[in-house]
Amino acid sequence: MTPTRSLLDIDDLTNDEIDSVFALAREFAQRPAPRSLDGTFCANLFFEQSTRTHVSFQCAQMRLGANVINLSPAQLSLATKGERLDDTAVTLRALGVDILVARHPLAGAVAELGAAFEGCTINAGDGTNAHPTQALLDTFTLRDLLGELRGRAVAFVGDIRHSRVAHSSMRLLHRYGARVLAIGPECFLDRGDIPKEVELARDFDAALPTIDALVMLRVQRERFEKMPIDDAAYISAYRLDLKRLALLGARAPILHPGPYNRGVEIVDAVTLDARWRYREQVRNGVLVRTALLHRLVRGW
Ligand code: NCD
């Protein structure tokens, strides 16, 4: 029953495995999921605030009948008693935890936890590095809305540099044949972190009429010291406003991993636009995570 496969990065899964997760997620939209995690123990350990990802994993685990332990890092021995991260993971495993879902502000910290845990570890976001289940739900949502992704242009807009969502989702969308663009000011586009197949663009307005789907990103201020561009300059070039909504194709979906900051990367009107598909994204997140957990425990 105890699964041993982990998901630290999106490249840990093959396209066939992802297709099978997507097919199952589609089934779970129509019928209740089986109690395939009955008797297993899942621990959710989030060293960073989270609304969507944490609750989404918890809903998925509960749908599958798992026992769910939500850990608050401030109450753990590592907070004040000097216990190391890896020793915490060893302890959780010895306590009988089968699946560890973890988020940490440092890139690589979830892999470190996973190496010590020696069970199934799922990365719910580590620093600016990776967020593989967000890549799954973004790709699932875009396939659902656009059909075949091959040749379709998907643009990520904003603070790409600090976005683990962009880093993981861009890679997966490229694997599915999409033409991926990263749009933002130079200070947020770091070629080193962006796969070479992704096209970089500065001019949002020029790109808008040519793209099939938009993924708007938050400026992730907690991941850097000082805003590298003037707020007003950023907003004037990259905020999705009414003028830019008019340049976007009538059927092009707008996604956002959340949390979205009204007035910064989007204006209020975006949330009322028929192309704004944020709610589907969140709903799909639960379906995809339910399907993933089922596959990790029951196999492919
Ligand atoms: C993101 C995250 O925390 O990586 N949100 C999410 O998990 N859905 C994006 C963000 O922080 O802006």
**For the domain that residue 154 is a member of, what is the CATH number?**
3.40.50.1370
**Ligand 1 pocket member 53 (CB < 6 A):** yes
Mapped onto helix, strand or coil, the DSSP state of residue 197 is coil
Q: At residue 2, does pLDDT exceed 80?
A: no
**In the prediction, which pLDDT does 222 show?**
86
Report if residue 64 sits inside a domain. Answer: yes
CB 108 within 8 A of CB 129: yes
Which ligand 1 atom sits closest to the C-alpha of 257?
A: 8
Q: How confident is the model over 45-101, as pLDDT tens digits? A: 999 999 999 999 999 999 999 999 999 999 888 888 899 999 999 999 999 999 999
CB 253 within 8 A of CB 277: yes
Kindly give the pairing relationship between strand 153-157 and strand 199-201.
Answer: unpaired
Q: At residue 1, does pLDDT exceed 70?
A: no
Report if residue 143 sits inside a domain. Answer: yes
Residue 195 corresponds to which tokens in the numbers above? Answer: 């796969």
| Full domain range(s) for residue 162 | 132-281
Burial of 260 (0-12, 13-18, 19+ CB in 10 A): middle
**Ligand 1 pocket member 257 (CB < 6 A):** yes
Report if residue 199 sits inside a domain. Answer: yes
**Ligand 1 pocket member 289 (CB < 6 A):** no
**Ligand 1 pocket member 131 (CB < 6 A):** yes
Helix/strand/coil percent split, the chain, to 5: 45, 15, 40
Q: What confidence tier does 227 reach under pLDDT thresholds 50, 70, 90? A: confident
Report if residue 4 sits inside a domain. Answer: no
Report if residue 122 sits inside a domain. Answer: yes
CA atoms within 13 A on the CB side of 103: 24
**In the prediction, which pLDDT does 3 show?**
84
Q: Going along the chain, which residue ranges are E strands?
A: 41-46, 67-71, 99-104, 120-126, 153-157, 179-183, 199-201, 213-216, 254-255
Report if residue 139 sits inside a domain. Answer: yes
**In the prediction, which pLDDT does 110 show?**
98
Report if residue 124 sits inside a domain. Answer: yes
Residues 183, 234 within the same domain:
yes
CB 271 within 8 A of CB 263: no
Residues 137, 246 within the same domain:
yes
Residues 199, 274 within the same domain:
yes
**In the prediction, which pLDDT does 160 show?**
96
**Candidate of 131, 136, 162, 217 to mutate for ligand 1, largest count of ligand atoms within 8 Å of Cβ:** 131
Lowest mean pLDDT among 47-56, 130-139, 225-234, 286-295: 225-234
Residues 72, 40 within the same domain:
yes
**In the prediction, which pLDDT does 13 show?**
98
Overall domain count for the chain: 2
Q: What is the pTM assigned to this prediction?
A: 0.97
**Candidate of 48, 53, 170 to mutate for ligand 1, largest count of ligand atoms within 8 Å of Cβ:** 53
Q: At residue 247, does pLDDT exceed 70?
A: yes
Residues 118, 164 within the same domain:
no
